[in-house]
Amino acid sequence: MDNPYKIILKPLITEKGTVQTEENNCYSFQVHPKANRKEIAGAIEALFDVHVLKVNTMIRKGKRMGRGYRVYNRSNVKRAVVKLKEGEAIEFI
């Protein structure tokens, strides 16, 4: 994947993520399911002009939804928590 906009889908702004940002300089993003850590780090550096120190990824399993005989699963979501170099930040509007 060459396009960083296809790798980084959207930022995840939550209460826990805000605490991580303030204490550890870590930011959370929803990423493409097939993206690896090197691609994620390169995309973050290209999009936001920062230096990435560490990338942790996790896959959140999709919820089982439905009633009765109509049962389906939502798709899985891959998340990345990115730690930045000290003194750098990402501004979300």
Sorting pLDDT into bands at 50, 70 and 90, what band is 68?
A: confident
Q: What is the pLDDT of residues 35-44, one digit of tens each?
A: 999 999 999 9
Name the residue with tokens 């204490």: 23
**Residue 72, amino acid:** Y
List the CATH code of the domain at 4-84. Answer: 3.30.70.330
pTM greater than 0.85: yes
Name the residue with tokens 């805000």: 18
